[in-house]
Structure 1
Amino acid sequence: MCFKFWQKAYFLTLLLFLFALCGSIVVLGGISQSQSYEAECEKLLAQQHTTAQNFLTDAAAVNERRPAALAQLARNYAAQQSNGFLKIEQGENTWVDTLPIPNTDLPIPPEEGKRVHTIRISEGRHILYVLVRLPGPPEDMVMTCAYDVEPFFLQWNRTWRIFILAGVGVFAFLAVALYIVLRGLSRPMERLAKVAGCLAKGEYTARSVGYGRDEVGQLARALNEMACCVQENIRQLEESAQRKQQLVDNVAHELRTPLTAIGGYAEYIQRAELSPKEKYEATNYIISETKRLAAMSERLLQMAALRDEQAELRAVDVSDLIDTVYLTLEPKAHKRGVCLKKSMVTSSTIWGERALLESLFLNLTDNALKACNAGGVVQLGAEHLDDEIRCWVSDTGCGMDETTLKCLGEPFFRPDKARSREQGGAGLGISLCKVIAKAHNARLCFESKPGSGTVVSVFFTTQKLGEEKFAIKN
């Protein structure tokens, strides 16, 4: 049979208390009885001493006048013992003997002037016998006094019963009280064990309630905090698994269309008799789709690498970074009929990996160009805000609604799918930008309304403090 912890504590405590209680009763009762017995004996011995002294004085006087009257004197003294018995003898002559017969022989009379006392049982009663050898004259007298001490032992028997009953009562009271206390203390632990069992079964919403400020309450709070952390971690894992599955589904979907087109055109070139112009158009489409697949795989690899590695932070000049992005995309903007502008800034630095930062702003600026029709304006700039540096890209394009803004950054999400496919986009640019910003401990914010354009801000918090502030010149 397996006992619970509180049951083990209950029985062990009761057992220890029983030993302590019994030991205390035996020791204290024994000491009290011994002291009472000694006091009773002292009282009776004093009474015997008085009787012996009086008899010795009277015997000396009678012995001088009438020695034959000593026996009568002894009988008179025996008759006067209201609460005792008396035996007086001289040599082999016994003058008087009223002693109750003991169950065992009495001890040998001591030397003259000394006495000895002992307890004997006579007819089921305790009798105290006191023997003393009286000094003469007359010579060789022995006095034996006997006192009934049975009332003393009867009283102590009653006292022992009272002690035992009191001990049983105390033990019973402690057993009940200890059961109530330990059972009450164990219930919160049982509730905690039940909550832990629910968590082990996957019921992460289980919580412990009604805890106090003691150790059990601290344990309950710690268990609830652990449950919250576990629930949050499980939620994050589920979301991560869902995102990964969605990414796999999106990749499979995105790969199917170009691969189908490439396969179809390749089979078309292989089987059909084509003119040079038709063959050129077919191969050109194959090359276009191949480049799009290459760009898609490159961005996926970049995102995977950034998730596994930390960016190498070095000082990067903001104005030089904006100039590089401007010079790279200005021909594309001119070709699309979009005006690309930049805000001139003083020489200041942010901390990051230049190649990644260039990729970040090239993607953001390229998206801004794609969002604008001919005659649109895209502007690059930066400003200093307290201990942050804000770099931004704004456009005068079609803008986005709140639903679209919430979905930005999800792999393969395109605000305008038809235009993105037409321009070669795979929906990975913003996802890559978010990963790069996170690697630089930066915040990426989008502000947009339909028909009012979009402003993308990147707040860098890893810049070296103490740098001079940006001065924006349009």
Structure 2
Amino acid sequence: MTLKSNLASSRDRSLREHYFIASSYAKDLNALQKRGASVDKGIESLYRSYFDFYNKQRVILAVSKNGHPLYTDVPGASVAFPAHSLRISKAGERLLSLEKFEDKDYIGVTGALPAPYDTYTLAYYYDVSDILSAWSKMTFMLFLIGMLFCGLLAVCLLLVLNRVFKPLQLISDASRSIAQGQYENRIEVKGEDELAEMARSFNHMAKEIQRQMQQLAQAAEQKQQFADNLAHELRTPLTAIYGYAEYIQKVVRTEEDKLFATNYIMSESRRLQNIAYRLLDMATLRGNKIELNLVHMRKLVQEVELALSMKAEELAIRITYETRFETLLCDADLMHILLVNLIDNAMKACGPGGEIRLLADLENEQKVIYIEDNGKGMTQEQLIHITEAFYRVDPSRSRSGGGAGLGLTLCKQIAINHEADLSFSSEPGQGTIAKLTFTTQ
């Protein structure tokens, strides 16, 4: 670890100094060139200056051009210059290596000079022989000291094991009790040593297991509640359908009565169909990853406006649309469903003459879509549950309108698939604001 740390420090120093020397070299060469000196003469002159300065710091410098060595202070004329040090590096590329010259070890950094002198390559070698020598001596000393401690540790091990086995037995007993469903069992913690920390960790694990089991029980309860609600939602229209069908079949009725019964059967059938489609949409979203594309906001808003204009006109509700960013990365069809559902819910909350506003804006460099209405609003308790499946703020209104309490649940799932946050704020009598925040755009 000491060797790696020291070598890493030397590598960092070598990279920094190579960058500094290359930059200074290019600046000085540019200054000499402006005074009329040729590039080659400038290279040679500067090399001598840099050599005199860095030679005292156990540093070797070398300069090559187009793969041919020009100047070097590598000790020994017969030393083979590293082949990779001669090739021209790509712009910004630097090669790091470990070299050996005359029984000395060097960390080498090779890289081209900054443009327009990138035909020249500067090689920098920093002497790390002392580091490797100190490491060899250290490992030898540590080996001897380790041998001396082995005997002492063997004796201490017996004492440690006797102390370790007792809390391990406690942990074993507590584990068996947890396995039997007694999640509240904990180990008594004494002291501040490692064994006490282990006991705390075990207690934390037991606490987390207890919490997760409670979450699983809650999730199972929610699933059961979902199934109960679904059964209730299906039973109500099925009962009505069967009753009106029997009404038509068994009793002689006028055409007007038959038409009324048939219309009611069709209405309840559409409600069942709507529930099935919504459940299918949510199941599809949970099981598949959607494909996101850049969608023009104006086009998306125009399609939403077209889908809702007739219903808004019938209910005498005014809807305004305003976009302040051009594109949105999303699934256009799913985003259309989300916006239509949110506005449709806003229309249900508004009476005749109500107003709804859709605003696509930037907030804290994030894309946000607001849908605001001046309807009856909701309490804080209602806001907590509005995205739950089959939850209705006004059950009677939702049934008469054909709703099944799945629209906002689907919206929440669509938002999750877009890695967006869907939130609501409302006050009774003050309207509601739905806010869709895209956290990854």
| TM-score > 0.5, shorter chain as reference | yes
Distance between the aligned counterparts of 1:431 and 1:221, measured in 2?
Answer: 40
Helix, strand or coil: the match of 1:455? strand
Output the amino acid matched with 1:338.
I
Residue 376 of structure 1 is aligned with which of 343, 354, 369?
Answer: 354
Q: Does 1:449 align with 2:427?
A: yes
Does residue 248 of structure 1 match 2:230? no
Contact 2:420 2:440 in 1 (8 A): yes
Unaligned runs of 5+ in 2: 1-155
Find the counterpart in structure 1 of residue 397 from structure 2.
419
Aligned pairs for 1:40-439 within 5 A: 183-210=162-189, 215-349=194-328, 351-439=329-417
1:89 corresponds to: none
Say which SS state the counterpart of residue 189 (structure 1) adopts: helix
- Alpha carbons 2:325, 2:361 under 8 Å: kept: no
Higher-Rg member (1/2) = 1
Q: Distance in 1 between matches of 2:157 and 2:332?
A: 73
Deviation at 1:344, TM superposition (A): 3.5
**Structure 1 residues 206 and 371, CA, compared in 2 at 3 Å: closer, same or farther?**
same
SS of the aligned residue for 1:204 comes to: coil
**SS of residue paired to 2:323:** coil
The answer as to whether partners of 2:371 and 2:434 remain within 8 angstroms in 1 is yes
Q: In structure 2, how many angstroms separate the alpha carbons of the residues matched to 1:413 and 1:218?
A: 46
Work out whether residues 237 and 272 of structure 2, in 8 Å CA contact, stay in contact via their aligned partners in 1.
Answer: yes
Contact 1:319/1:345, CA 8 A, preserved across alignment: no
Please give the alpha-carbon distance, in whole angstroms, between the structure 2 residues aligned to 1:301 and 1:269. Answer: 32
**Aligned residues of 2:325 and 2:360 also touching (Cα < 8 A):** no
Tell me which amino acid in the other structure corresponds to 1:378.
I
- Identify the range of structure 1 (204-213 vs 297-306) with the bigger mean alpha-carbon deviation: 204-213
Q: Which residue of 2 aligns with 1:113?
A: none
Deviations 1:268-316 (A, max 9, x none): 1111111111111110110111001000110011111212222222222
Question: RMSD of aligned C-alpha atoms?
Answer: 2.2
Aligned-partner Cα distance in 2 for 1:297–1:424: 13
Percentage of matched positions with identical amino acids: 42
Counterparts of 1:339 and 1:286 in 2: how far apart (Å)?
32
Q: Which amino acid aligns with 2:436?
A: V
Q: 1:222 to 1:264 in 2, by over 3 A?
A: same
CA–CA distance in 2 between the matches of 1:370 and 1:406? 19
Q: CA deviation at 1:179?
A: 9.7
> In structure 2, the residue corresponding to 1:381 is in which secondary structure?
strand
* 1:42-76 residue CA offsets vs partner (Å, 9 max, x unmatched): xxxxxxxxxxxxxxxxxxxxxxxxxxxxxxxxxxx
Instruction: Evaluate the alpha carbon distance shift between residue 284 and residue 219 of structure 1 in structure 2; reply closer, same or farther with a 3 A threshold.
Output: same
Cα offset, 1:370, TM superposition? 0.6
Go from structure 1 to structure 2 and tell me whether the alpha carbon gap of 1:384 and 1:212 turns closer, same or farther (over 3 Å shift). Answer: farther
Q: Find the counterpart in structure 1 of residue 437 from structure 2.
A: 459
Deviation of 1:387 after TM superposition, in Å, equals 3.5
Aligned residues: 286
Distance 2:297 2:199 in 1: 52
Structure 1 gap ranges (5+)? 1-176, 464-474
**CA deviation vs aligned residue, 1:74-109 (integer Å, no higher than 9, x gap):** xxxxxxxxxxxxxxxxxxxxxxxxxxxxxxxxxxxx
